[in-house]
């Protein structure tokens, strides 16, 4: 055509170039504001090309909702928080609308539409990029934000790469990525929430849109950061607080917080693809006990099923599942089983026929159920976005309750099929809104775990444990999440640390990675190091693939067994601290595993690649993981006083330090002022510790508080006040350690408190009113006493200690 009609071609080309920037261009901006309506905490706007609603959700959260057509009825799978009545001042003139709360100020420009956010003192927090703001290219909508000088970005959930996202771009489309590399994107889940940091301010942005979404933090440009979706509304929540931790709290106010898990789920879990038959499962359980390795869970992968069909047991491998699970419980083990969403198309199969009869499968436009191939063969898939589909799943969960199962592991729920190309035209109910796969895909996994949680909560008669590979913002209300099919490599181990830290920054606290790596066999040092780290992550699960070396702790030799067992022992002694930290997370959303960016946000060193793998485990511990091959490592101690966990040696913060690395010891530091409750060693959470609770107190220059928490660890009675909660306060200025009056109706497990004081060399006694308690000199070994033939010496901290009665009244001790 170009050879025959060169002039016409040039005219068409010229016309195309002109229209690409003209009134009918493919890029549509919002244009000027043409009408404004205000109503208490809400502003309704119409622009030349769009509609906008601005809602003050709380004094610190403002919702911005934009579409290029009139709004559909409001709906969200993620947001459960309600608009909070707030003091809001709204004023306007010909050019701007000013919105002022107690926490921030928003300015809406009219010509053209754009928004900017400021502190109440007038400092810029975030603003639209002039000339770009929000626009559409076909059905895709994107909002462009001006990139501030020195701006950094963290969060966005399960994303590879560095802790600081600056210079990178990411896509959210839940994907099955077996043996993914350390730069792979996207992975399994979608959490479109990030936190921006610059000039001593921080803010959060949550894009609530389940279509494929894209985030750009300066990738391929030096002008803007942006976020957008391939369809639907521009619907985001802007969050501002002075502290990053409070941003997470507000985000989880919107999207919900995790319920307290069962106590057994915080113990060590042994898994493999796959343990079968029953005799092998029992062998693993008995060998754990014979080797005195504390453990609470065994997980069964797909080989427990009959030909991989859901809601079945392979009767030749597991002739009496309920009996087996009862025997495991006697040994102190709970059983978790895997489930996939695909229901095998097989006439006469109860689950398949029931789903067909009740019409719960996702469908093509012509009404035929969508069929995709996975482990059992060709399958139909329940529509978890429909009430009917979720209620059907609830009923199926009764199968596991009758089998004595305690946990449900939801896999393949991205959702995954062989070929990984589920068609766009699959129809979903989307809770009465009817939509296609394009909008429903990213929320499928979250709604599956919702159905699993609701069904298990109803059928199990106690707190269930739910684990998922996929999800969307708000998944924390129903499930823990793990990072999928990782590899047995050092860089994957450290990537896993960053993935869990990023999930924590994004509101998901109960997280895991496959310890030891799923794909491939780890070396002895790598396995040992990974198990040490595993003791300091929220969900501690060892998992490996069927074609790899067995990965139980005793399979790597005696030295590795001794080291890994000592760290599992330590985790079980720390369960009072860990359970209390989980309680804190359930109350305020602050994760158990905490990137240093949470508490040291404006310290530039914590965002650098050199120190990005360091993290806090609760408020007390700082874990500094390194590759198993390293002999030395550089760490960074943030502001404050820090103690070496094993020796008690003190270090001052704001310094870098090169430390020797040995495979028997994971470098861990304790922050001055910390309060750490510990118990005696147990082999399973079904076993009771002794009646003395040890409270380790570390001297420091800053006051600190710790909320100690107990309940039965099994039921939901804590929601009715059946708990034991106590605030413990350390004040270095007043020289006091105070136990506030206990709250709740639950009776503590512990009759006595043993106070173990670190860094109190000058103190000889504690005074409580007229009572005086002499402090004894002693030593404490966090990893216990080394075996006589161990190549590693025992390390001790020098401490002072005394024991007091654990009554429920207020106790103030002066030192």
In whole angstroms, give the CA distance from residue 42 to residue 677.
Answer: 47
Residue 805 has pLDDT above 50, yes or no: yes
In the block, tokens 């898939």 appear at 381
In whole angstroms, give the CA distance from residue 400 to residue 140.
Answer: 43
pLDDT at 341: 98
pLDDT tens, 716-748?
999 999 999 999 999 999 999 999 999 999 999
Q: Is 336 helix (H, G, I), strand (E, B) or coil?
A: strand
Strands 811-814 and 736-739: antiparallel
Among 411, 429, 710, 711, the active-site one is 411
- CA separation (Å) from 632 to 502, 625, 627, 755? 26, 12, 10, 35
- For 69, counting Cβ atoms within 10 Å of its Cβ (0-12 exposed, 13-18 middle, 19+ buried), the class is exposed
DSSP letter assigned to residue 662: B
140 phi/psi in degrees, rounded to 5: -80, 135
Alpha-helical segments (H) within 461-540: 490-505, 524-534
pLDDT band at 25 (very low <50, low <70, confident <90, very high): low
pLDDT tens, 597-606?
999 999 999 9
Strands (E), 159-222: 169-172, 189-190, 193-198, 201-207, 213-216
CB-based contact 680:750 (threshold 8 Å): no
Torsion of CA 663, 664, 666, 671, to 10 degrees: -150
CB-based contact 650:657 (threshold 8 Å): no
In whole angstroms, give the CA distance from residue 549 to residue 521.
Answer: 6
CB-based contact 270:284 (threshold 8 Å): yes
pLDDT at 789: 83
- CA separation (Å) from 470 to 411, 467, 482? 8, 9, 8
Residue 497 has pLDDT above 50, yes or no: yes
Residue 402 has pLDDT above 50, yes or no: yes
Closest CA to 413 of 463, 449, 368: 449
CB proximity list for 357: less than 8 A, separation 6 or greater: none
pLDDT band at 791 (very low <50, low <70, confident <90, very high): confident
pLDDT band at 5 (very low <50, low <70, confident <90, very high): very low
In whole angstroms, give the CA distance from residue 225 to residue 169.
Answer: 9
Residue 660 has pLDDT above 60, yes or no: yes
CB-based contact 599:673 (threshold 8 Å): no
The strands making up 377-380's β-sheet, listed across from edge to edge, are 343-344, 377-380, 372-374
What integer is the mean pLDDT of 755-762?
Answer: 97
pLDDT at 788: 77
Strand-pair partners of 487 = 519
CB-based contact 227:147 (threshold 8 Å): no
CB-based contact 229:207 (threshold 8 Å): yes
Residue 14 has pLDDT above 80, yes or no: no
pLDDT at 786: 77
Stretch among 18-22, 184-188, 271-275, 431-435 having the lowest mean pLDDT = 18-22
Catalytic residue at 53? no
In whole angstroms, give the CA distance from residue 757 to residue 765.
Answer: 11
2: its two tokens: 């170009």
In whole angstroms, give the CA distance from residue 541 to residue 670.
Answer: 24
Whether the full predicted model's pTM is greater than 0.85, yes or no, is: yes
Catalytic residue at 485? yes
Among 208, 214, 233, 414, the active-site one is 414
Q: Is 308 helix (H, G, I), strand (E, B) or coil?
A: coil
- For 540, counting Cβ atoms within 10 Å of its Cβ (0-12 exposed, 13-18 middle, 19+ buried), the class is buried
In the block, tokens 């901290």 appear at 797
CB-based contact 547:518 (threshold 8 Å): no
**How far is Cα of residue 116 from the mean position of the Cα atoms in its chain?**
30
pLDDT at 790: 83
Catalytic residue at 712? no
pLDDT at 129: 98
CB-based contact 738:755 (threshold 8 Å): no
- Measured N-to-C along each axis, helices 321-330 and 278-290 cross at an angle, to the nearest 10 degrees, of 0
- For 114-142, letters b (16+ CB in 10 Å) and e give bbbbbeeeeeebbbbbeebbbbbeeebbb
- For 812, counting Cβ atoms within 10 Å of its Cβ (0-12 exposed, 13-18 middle, 19+ buried), the class is middle
What integer is the mean pLDDT of 386-395?
Answer: 98
670: its two tokens: 């304790």
CB-based contact 574:676 (threshold 8 Å): yes
pLDDT tens, 279-321?
999 999 999 999 999 999 999 999 999 999 999 999 999 999 9
CB-based contact 606:654 (threshold 8 Å): no
pLDDT at 64: 98
Among 301, 485, 562, 710, the active-site one is 485
| Number of other residues whose CB lies within 10 A of the CB of residue 19 | 12
pLDDT at 10: 38
- CA separation (Å) from 50 to 29, 70, 106? 8, 8, 20
In whole angstroms, give the CA distance from residue 637 to residue 669.
Answer: 9
Q: Which helix (H) or strand (E) holds 117?
A: strand 113-119
Residue 15 has pLDDT above 50, yes or no: no
pLDDT at 1: 37
Q: Give me the chain's average pLDDT, please.
A: 96
- Measured N-to-C along each axis, helices 490-505 and 524-534 cross at an angle, to the nearest 10 degrees, of 10
Closest CA to 547 of 178, 278, 294, 293: 178
546: its two tokens: 């069927």
In whole angstroms, give the CA distance from residue 813 to residue 440.
Answer: 57
């Amino acid at each position: 055509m170009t050879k025959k009609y060169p002039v016409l071609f040039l005219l068409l080309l010229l016309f195309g170039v002109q229209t690409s920037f003209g009134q009918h261009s493919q890029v549509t901006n919002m244009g000027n504001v043409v009408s404004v309506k205000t109503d208490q905490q809400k502003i309704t706007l119409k622009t030349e090309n769009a509609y906008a609603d601005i809602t003050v959700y709380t004094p610190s959260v403002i919702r911005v909702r934009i579409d290029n057509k009139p709004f559909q009825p409001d709906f969200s799978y993620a947001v459960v928080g309600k608009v909070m009545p707030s003091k809001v001042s709204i004023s306007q003139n010909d050019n701007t609308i000013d919105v002022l709360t107690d926490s921030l100020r928003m300015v809406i420009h009219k010509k053209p539409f754009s928004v900017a956010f400021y502190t109440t003192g007038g400092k810029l927090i975030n603003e639209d990029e002039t000339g770009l703001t929000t626009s559409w290219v076909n059905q895709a909508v994107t909002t462009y934000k001006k990139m501030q000088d020195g701006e950094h970005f963290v969060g966005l959930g399960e994303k590879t790469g560095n802790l600081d996202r600056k210079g990178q771009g990411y896509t959210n489309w839940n994907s099955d990525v077996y043996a993914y590399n350390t730069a792979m994107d996207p992975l399994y889940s979608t959490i479109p929430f990030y936190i921006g940091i610059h000039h001593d301010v921080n803010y959060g942005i949550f894009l609530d849109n389940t279509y494929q979404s894209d985030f750009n933090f300066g990738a391929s440009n030096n002008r803007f950061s942006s976020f957008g979706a391939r369809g639907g509304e521009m619907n985001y929540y802007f969050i501002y607080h002075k502290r990053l931790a409070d941003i997470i709290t507000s985000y989880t106010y919107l999207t919900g917080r995790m319920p307290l898990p069962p106590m057994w789920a915080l113990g060590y879990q042994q898994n493999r693809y796959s343990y079968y038959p029953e005799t092998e499962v029992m062998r693993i359980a008995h060998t754990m006990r014979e080797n005195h390795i504390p453990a609470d869970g065994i997980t069964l992968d797909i080989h427990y099923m009959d030909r991989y069909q859901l809601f079945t047991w392979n009767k030749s491998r597991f002739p009496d599942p309920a009996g087996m699970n009862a025997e495991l419980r006697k040994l102190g083990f709970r059983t978790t089983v895997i489930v996939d969403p695909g229901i095998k198309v097989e006439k006469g199969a109860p689950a398949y026929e029931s789903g067909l009869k009740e019409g719960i499968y996702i469908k093509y436009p012509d009404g035929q159920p969508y069929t995709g191939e996975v482990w059992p063969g060709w399958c139909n898939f329940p529509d978890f976005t429909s009430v009917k589909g979720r209620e059907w799943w609830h009923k199926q969960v009764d199968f596991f309750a009758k089998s004595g199962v305690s946990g449900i592991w939801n896999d393949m729920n991205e959702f995954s099929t062989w070929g990984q190309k589920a068609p766009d035209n699959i129809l979903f109910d989307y809770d009465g809104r009817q939509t296609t796969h394009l909008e429903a895909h990213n929320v499928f996994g979250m709604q599956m775990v919702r159905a699993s949680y609701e069904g298990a909560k109803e059928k199990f008669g106690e707190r269930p444990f739910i684990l998922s590979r996929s999800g969307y913002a708000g998944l924390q209300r129903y499930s823990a999440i793990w990072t999928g099919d990782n590899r047995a490599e050092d860089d994957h181990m450290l990537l896993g640390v960053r993935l869990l830290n990023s999930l924590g920054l994004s509101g998901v606290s109960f997280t895991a990675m496959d310890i030891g790596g799923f794909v491939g066999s780890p070396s002895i040092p790598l396995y040992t190091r990974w198990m040490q780290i595993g003791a300091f992550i929220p969900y501690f699960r060892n998992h490996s693939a069927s074609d790899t070396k067995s990965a139980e702790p005793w399979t790597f030799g005696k030295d590795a067994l001794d080291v890994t067992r000592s760290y599992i022992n330590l985790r079980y002694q720390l369960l009072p601290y860990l359970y209390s930290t989980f309680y804190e997370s359930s109350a305020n959303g602050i994760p158990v595993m905490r990137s240093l960016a949470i508490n040291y946000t404006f310290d530039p060193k914590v965002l650098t690649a050199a120190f990005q793998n360091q993290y806090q485990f609760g408020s007390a511990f700082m874990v500094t993981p390194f590759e198993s091959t390293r002999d030395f490592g550089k760490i960074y101690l943030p502001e404050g006083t820090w103690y070496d966990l094993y020796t008690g040696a003190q270090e001052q913060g704001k310094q870098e330090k090169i430390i020797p690395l040995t495979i028997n010891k994971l470098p861990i530091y304790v922050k001055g002022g910390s309060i750490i409750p510990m118990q005696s060693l147990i082999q399973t959470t079904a076993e009771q510790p002794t009646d003395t609770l040890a409270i380790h107190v570390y001297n420091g220059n800053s006051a600190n508080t710790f909320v100690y928490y107990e309940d039965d660890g099994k039921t939901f009675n804590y929601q009715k006040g059946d708990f034991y909660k106590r605030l413990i306060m350390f004040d270095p200025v007043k020289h006091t350690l105070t136990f506030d009056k206990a709250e709740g109706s639950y009776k503590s497990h512990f009759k006595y408190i043993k106070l173990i004081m670190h860094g109190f060399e000058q103190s000889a006694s504690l005074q409580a009113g007229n009572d005086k308690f002499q402090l004894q000199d002693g030593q404490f070994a966090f990893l216990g006493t080394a075996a006589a033939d161990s190549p590693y010496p025992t390390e001790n901290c020098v401490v002072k200690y005394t024991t007091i009665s654990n009554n429920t009244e207020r106790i103030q001790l002066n030192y």
